[in-house]
Amino acid sequence: MNEFARLRKQMIEYQLAARGLDDKTVLDAVGAVPREAFVPTDLVEFAYQDSPLPIAASQTISQPYIVALMTSALELTPEDRVLEVGTGSGYAAAVLAEIVDEVYSIERHKILADTARNRLSELGYKNTHVLHADGTLGWPEQAPFDAIVVAAGGPEVPATLKQQLAIGGRLVIPVGATLHTQKLLRVRRISEHEYQQEDLGGVRFVPLIGAAGWEGEAADIPAAKKAEASLPELIYQSSEHFGFIDHANLDNLLDRIGDSRLVLLGEASHGSAEFYEMRARITQELIEKKGFTVIAVEADWPDANRIDHYIHDTSPDPLLESAPFARFPTWMWANHSVLEFTHWLKSYNEKVASADKQAGFYGLDLYSLGSSIESVLNYLDTVDPETAEVARVRYGCLSPWTSDPGLYGRVAITKQYRECEQDVLDILQGLLKKRLDYSLADGERFFNAEQNARLVASAERYYRTMYYAENNSWNQRDQHMFDTLKSVLAFRGPESKAVIWAHNSHIGDARATQMSARGELNIGQLARQEYGDAAYLIGFGTDHGTVAAASEWGGPMETKQVQPSHIDSYERVCHNVASDNFLLPLRRAQQASPQAMARELLLEERLERAIGVIYRPDTEMQSHYFYASLPNQFDEYIWFDETRAVEPLTRETIKDMPDTFPFGL
């Protein structure tokens, strides 16, 4: 099985079947069509992603799920003759051609019609016919049709297409007054003058242009623009605006957070200063006004432990050789925004006499395989030298791979190297069996060693699994982060409350995004499932500015320009709000209030942007956008229209800092 065939199989499993699409005929047809042949050459790596892709003439090849959904809605039989309006790349026509006798497809853009016709012919689809014409008028010379599918949204169902249906024929078409209020309709012709109509749910398509559709090129027709303008106005009315982060009044936000035990603070990129600074501001208020004592972040445990020692004015393990925050991407935590926050935490803790009321800083992630092994062994050397020697032998299984853990996964999958799972689990279990003896000596040091041992066990499984199925390794990572969070809360006591800093993709409820269709979960989903309304999820967004990011994994940090947001995205809606910065509550509100009406309009899925440590503006639509339902994803959304890149620390910045200073370069 080649790579594209494997990706096609995964697409069917995670994007189609996982969403409940169980029409075997359609699934088999999708499985038979090489989608990579219908996308531009420079985008073939994204051919099986769960999103539309750009093609010529400013059009798109539809999301695979939508193609399959509409094909299934046609209720096709092998003898059917089908009309498709909107050939586009020709992909949907190929799927149809796998099922039915004849496919007639109309495309108003000549370049697309010619390209699709040639491509379908080259792939051996002899039962497809492509015409360059106005699709809203149908193809009367070939009528009647058993089924008609329209791949663009019109203001109403064109009478010309209904009339070209055979008796018993089905027409599937998106219809709506605006691009964001379309419904997918199925129209069934019962008799010469009688039609039956069904609503199949909300969708979003490019506009149907033509004599029986929208007039001219005005897909963003005035009526649509007028209706769309109301949503930014409602957001403006229901949000809280601020100019500068230091001047933002957070009292209402704290009231909305209420007695929540967890507050999850996201970010739309790992390299935007405003996200870090606003999270710091909110966290300070939660610590001072609501007694939060745990800051848990998307960082490795040993690195975060250095910050924890610094803010408590204690010394980290002097035997640890690896420098903290020296692993790619260094700028994610070794930056001036985090530096200022750690200084504040240290100053705060100095004023709090009771240790259990002081703030602690903890890492949730699992990438620190080498330094975590080092930390466990150093701890055991001091409390139980004999056990330390046994642990060295067992960890020796992993020692060749600590500098490049990904290599272990590649070797393990080929079975050229025995799995280390049992060895690392034995060390963790040994620690737990001696929990009482060890913790009596120094409970905090034991807890640190225990978490590092858990991290090594999780990391071994993560790197071994990531080569089998990407979503499984994602789930293992987020489950580890959530389990670590719960361990920290248990260690800090039943009254402890935590602030979590991580990317929106970890913080927002995965069930409200495309992640769910791939079988992926995240911290936000797990937090809601376990804590309910006691978990308050806050996402962040921006339209444009600069960001610190690399072009590839392991590459140098660059200051890049963030592209203005996509026209069909949540970011574009927020950009159109008459305020540069605002807090938008998203939990259910009083009926008929501006907030409730804004929430209702925002519920329908839109594109949302996610920039990690890598940013590729040239392929932004494929690399960084996904579909989500914002009000189901977050309880609150914080918007900065323009953001700037974080400023990384340099050797000059930290050269005069004390030995306990938590950053190393």
Residue carrying structure tokens 């807890």: 447
Contacts of 251 (CB under 8 A, 6+ apart): none
CA distance linking residue 387 with residue 385, whole number of Å: 5
- Judge whether 646 and 269 are in contact, CB under 8 Å: no
349: three-class secondary structure by DSSP: helix
Whether the upstream peptide bond of residue 405 has omega within 30° of 0, thus cis, is no
Please give the structure tokens belonging to residue 49.
Answer: 């992603």
Q: Is the dihedral of CA 502, 508, 509, 515 positive or negative?
A: negative
Distances in Å between the Cα of 285 and the Cα atoms of 191, 342, 446 are: 67, 15, 31
The single residue listed with the structure tokens 């193609």 is 67
User: CA–CA separation, 9 vs 327, rounded Å?
Assistant: 35
Instruction: Tell me the one-letter amino acid at 242.
Output: F
Please give the Cα distance from 541 to 611 (Å, whole number). 10
Helical H segments across 74-122, by residue range = 91-97, 110-122
Q: What is the largest distance, in Å, between two alpha-carbon atoms of the chain?
A: 89
Report which of 642, 566, 600, 543 is spatially closest to residue 238, judged by C-alpha positions: 600
Helix/strand/coil for 659: coil
**Annotated catalytic residue within 62, 368, 371, 569:** 62
| 375 has catalytic annotation | no
- Cα distance between residue 196 and residue 30, in whole Å: 28
Tell the burial category of 40 from Cβ atoms under 10 Å away from its Cβ (0-12, 13-18, 19+): middle
Structure tokens at 161: 């297409």
Q: Report the alpha-carbon distance of residue 468 to residue 6 in Å, rounded.
A: 11
CA–CA gap between residue 484 and residue 482 (Å, rounded) = 5
Name the helix (H) or strand (E) containing 584.
strand 581-585
Known catalytic residues? 62
